[in-house]
Amino acid sequence: MIQVSSVTKRNDFFTVVNCVDRYITYLTTQEPEILYDYLDEAYRKEKEITKENILNKMETLDDYYKFRAKEMYVTKLSDNLEQYFVYGILTLEATEETEEKIEFYLSVKMDKQNNTFSVIPNQYIQDGKIVEK
């Protein structure tokens, strides 16, 4: 079982949301090299994702969405590495009267010493266990 806690530091929360926003932008623009670089290395290996096949293996977005984080948890992996589990809503304003809302789950690994991050799509924490959503 993984020990997680709610993210309470505003700076950490907004830094992770910024990472998620950047990732969502490249899901929309469908730029394979940037998406590939954002994905966690272990995830790429497990799913056999390459720069050549990434757009076939990933669910991309056809329109621009706004992301709103609803829940965020963190676990410490090492002195410099933390993993954030994020749940939020993607909103596309289709018309002035209706909005399309999509639940969005992912985890972000943040290396604070090197100021880098990587993304694992569809991953969340549930009852202390990592699950795919």
Print the domain residue range for 27: 5-125
Residue 131 lies in a domain: no
| Strand 100-111 with 116-121, pairing | antiparallel
- The sign of the torsion formed by the CA atoms of 12, 39, 120, 24 equals positive
The residue among 54, 48, 65, 47 whose CA lies nearest residue 30 is 54
| pLDDT value, residue 66 | 87
Write the CATH number for 111: 3.10.450.540
Encoding tokens for residue 25?
Answer: 């932008």
Q: What residues pair up with 85 in beta bridges, in sequence order? A: 73, 107
Residue 113 lies in a domain: yes
Q: Convert the pLDDT of each residue in 70-129 to its tens digit.
A: 999 999 999 999 999 999 999 876 654 556 788 999 999 999 899 999 999 997 766 666
Residue 21 lies in a domain: yes
Residue 33 lies in a domain: yes
Cβ contact 73:8 at 8 Å: no
Residue 130 lies in a domain: no
| pLDDT value, residue 108 | 97
Encoding tokens for residue 103?
Answer: 């639940």
pTM of the model: 0.89
Instruction: Domain count for the chain, please give it.
Output: 1
Residue 14 lies in a domain: yes
Whether pLDDT at 38 is above 70: yes
